[in-house]
Amino acid sequence: MDFATLIAHLLGGCFGSMTAAAMCSRLNSRLNMAVFSKVLAGIVGGGMGGQILSTAFNLPMIGTGKADALTMLAHIASAGLGGASVLWLIGLLRSHTTP
């Protein structure tokens, strides 16, 4: 994986987790989390989700010269989905374990 793709995955994951957190906090106030935990969940989910989904969809790496704007958008969207998924999973586990 090249550096540009990694940065796109991490930033996309952070954006996805922050967006998911904003939507979830409006639905249920018990799902509010600290900013650091949102960013950390986004980084972890963006890195993993971006890598898994970009491999599954056979997307070229951004820094190879074969990528266009649509490929970059697909990388960012896959990482955002991964970040939102990890944040949702952490919120779900947290809501079932706290009194």
Q: Where are the domains of the chain?
A: 43-99
The pLDDT profile of the chain, 99 residues, written as one tens digit per residue, is 788 889 999 999 999 999 988 887 777 766 677 888 889 999 999 999 989 988 898 888 888 777 788 888 999 999 999 999 998 888 888 877 766
Which residues, including other chains, have CB under 8 Å from residue 97's CB and lie 6 or more apart? none
Q: Answer whether 91's CB lies under 8 Å from 25's CB.
A: no
Report the pLDDT value the prediction gives residue 7, as an integer from 0 to 100: 92
Q: Quick one: how far is CA 96 from the chain centroid? A: 22
Where b means 16+ CB within 10 Å and e means fewer, 59-90 reads: bebbeeeebeeebbebbbebbbbbbbbbbbeb
Whether the model pTM is above 0.75: yes
Report the pLDDT value the prediction gives residue 76, as an integer from 0 to 100: 92
Structure-token pair, residue 14: 């952070």
